[in-house]
Structure 1
Amino acid sequence: MAGQVRRGRPAGVDGEQTRRRIMAVALEHVSATGYGNATMKSIAERAGLTGAAIYRYFPSKQALVSAVLGEAVDDIMRRLDEATRIQGSLRERFVAFMEEAIASARDHPSVLRLHEVIQLEAGRHPEFLEVVQARQVAEEKLYGRLIEDAVSAGELPAGVDHRAITDMLLAIVWGLTHLAAVAPPDRHAAAVRQVEQLLATGSLLPRGE
């Protein structure tokens, strides 16, 4: 009938679903096989596309992997940022951060493995440095907020070395991130709990010993 409105899926819905499927496949495939062993053809096949069709969504493997990791890291950092927006001391808020880090590691094990892969590849593919550095900048901003709040609350002296504390926290968290990527979840959780114990008591010994 002339003038009849055709009902159906909104324009772009199928394309976005395909894009999401490609990214999900790439995350699992590259994190499992390594960047060098993964190809756009192999990713396309796993996503149910032809080797040529995948390039309509991503111009290269580097662009695809950068998009996958960038989006995943943004989601994890959002969760970590929200976890620290509680009332409490600097220690309590950092513990909340690490507890959310355990949850994120369990929810996104492939992301952590992919992050390790990309760090290794960054020397050969400098464009990956942007993704890695974006995570560091986001973390530094989060830690800076926690430190400034602690200074305002009188927990830390006004002249405290913000850079040194931030670097210490980065070292702890990136070390735990590496462990989460290469070790079973229970080992990662146990290591996080040990850091929490150290923050709470100043000792690696269990309370009361």
Structure 2
Amino acid sequence: MPRSASANREMREESRRKILAAALEVFAEKGYNGATITDITQRAGVSRGLASYYFPSKHLLVEELLDAYLDQVAAIIEVPGPPDAQLAAIIDGTLRVTVTGLPMQGVILGLMVQPSTHPIYAAVEARKDERLRKLEDNLRAMFAARGSAEPEVEEVMLRSVLEGVIYKAVVYGARYPVERVRRRLYRMYDLPQPEDTLSGEEPPPVSRLRATERGF
């Protein structure tokens, strides 16, 4: 009995998801330049022909991953509620995604800054310019509602601080004191201290940060 159109669509989407997940893993292990399509297809358990049908080049795989990343950022920032609740939710959403997906964050950061892939990131950003402008405007409106005299500067600063936290967490992995930093961010923005932790466990004392060869 032939499969229905919806079943075929689901199979296609599942194949795409498997290929993208495999690409993320291989990029995390070998970097963009060291990874090959063969590495990715073997990890995904699909034929090279199928992978090439959906993604004829690594370039397109990177574009899809970065596209999904920007959508994830948008989802974190687009939260309802009064300004203080919005800001707390943005901080928590960013840090939660960071601690639950450090390898992915490392891959994305690498793709953003590597000379060979930065132009791809810039192209994806340009394609999403309208949505990104809306997000920036929403953040600026939030800071204006909180009484900021320079909401545009506050928007840039918040994004810079959170991106810096993500970078450090990627470099130092589980040793990075995400929960302590979270509470410091709450104080910096005069937010009521959170009553719980992101992990559900009491954060350990802050130690000295040193990278290890084992990475994450």
Short-chain TM bin: 0.7 to 0.9
Residues 1:120 and 2:113 are matched in the alignment: yes
1:118 deviates by 0.5
1:133 deviates by 6.2
CA deviations 1:6-26 (Å, max 9, x no partner) are 364523332221111001111
User: CA–CA distance in 2 between the matches of 1:117 and 1:33?
Assistant: 11
Equivalent AA in structure 1 for residue 20 of structure 2: M
Mapping 1:28-67, distance limit 5 Å? 28-67=25-64
- Of stretches 39-48 and 189-198 in structure 1, the one that deviates more from structure 2 is 189-198
Of the two, which has the highest radius of gyration?
1
What is aligned with 2:97?
104
Gap change, CA 1:49 and 1:11, over 3 Å in 2 = closer
User: CA–CA distance in 2 between the matches of 1:135 and 1:103?
Assistant: 24
Moved over 4 A (4+): 132-140
User: CA–CA distance in 2 between the matches of 1:144 and 1:120?
Assistant: 25
Residues 1:14 and 2:19 are matched in the alignment: no
- Identical pairs, percent: 20
User: CA–CA distance in 2 between the matches of 1:44 and 1:30?
Assistant: 13
What is aligned with 2:199?
none
Q: Secondary structure at the match of 1:183?
A: helix
Contact 1:140 1:166 in 2 (8 A): no
Equivalent AA in structure 1 for residue 154 of structure 2: I
Q: How many residues align?
A: 187
User: CA–CA distance in 2 between the matches of 1:137 and 1:112?
Assistant: 24
Mapping 1:71-150, distance limit 5 Å? 71-82=68-79, 85-89=80-84, 92-121=85-114, 123-125=115-117, 126-131=119-124, 141-150=134-143
1:58 deviates by 0.3
Q: Give me the TM-score of the superposition, normalised by structure 1.
A: 0.75
User: CA–CA distance in 2 between the matches of 1:42 and 1:22?
Assistant: 11
What is aligned with 2:205?
none
Gap change, CA 1:170 and 1:71, over 3 Å in 2 = same
C-alpha RMSD of matched pairs (Å): 2.7
2:188 is aligned, of 185, 192, 198, to 198
Residues 1:180 and 2:172 are matched in the alignment: no
1:60 deviates by 0.5
Equivalent AA in structure 2 for residue 175 of structure 1: G
1:197 deviates by 2.0
CA deviations 1:30-75 (Å, max 9, x no partner) are 1232111111110011111233331111010011122023113313
**Runs (5+) with no aligned partner, structure 2:** 192-216
**Runs (5+) with no aligned partner, structure 1:** 1-5, 202-209
Residues 1:162 and 2:151 are matched in the alignment: yes
CA deviations 1:76-96 (Å, max 9, x no partner) are 4313322xx12243xx43222
